[in-house]
Amino acid sequence: ELKVEQNPLFLSMQEGKNYTIYCNYSTTSDRLYWYRQDPGKSLESLFVLLSNGAVKQEGRLMASLDTKARLSTLHITAAVHDLSATYFCASIAPDSNYQLIWGAGTKLIIKP
């Protein structure tokens, strides 16, 4: 059964700092998604990672996937206040009946 764990669940950081959110999943999967959610809003797709070693970058966010370690990371570089949001990772696998299995989410607060 596919399970997805994120850590940390809460992160408060200063602007200009770097940090990483971790997403572990329990069974074989070759796709990993990262979503962003602002308070009271819907989910915005950030990254789709489809293969081992995949790395994608958009602005100050960079996501990577290591399928052997069953680990994805979302790295924030020189954080700015606008990146404050909740970030979810999710994975999908045949043994999840092709349903997205979600991490609990990481609430990120970036202080000026």
Partner 1 sequence: DTEVTQTPKHLVMGMTNKKSLKCEQHMGHRAMYWYKQKAKKPPELMFVYSYEKLSINESVPSRFSPECPNSSLLNLHLHALQPEDSALYLCASSQGVYNEQFFGPGTRLTVL
Residues of this chain that interact with partner 1 (CB under 8 A) are 31, 33, 35, 40-45, 48, 88, 90, 92, 97-100, 102-105, 107
- Specify the residue, 14 or 99, whose C-beta has the smaller distance to partner 1: 99
CB of residue 101 to partner 1, shortest distance in Å: 9
Q: What does the alpha-carbon distance between residue 11 and residue 40 come to, in Å, rounded to a whole number?
A: 19
CB of residue 57 to partner 1, shortest distance in Å: 17
Task: List 10's β-bridge partners, or say none.
Answer: 107
Q: What does the alpha-carbon distance between residue 17 and residue 59 come to, in Å, rounded to a whole number?
A: 15
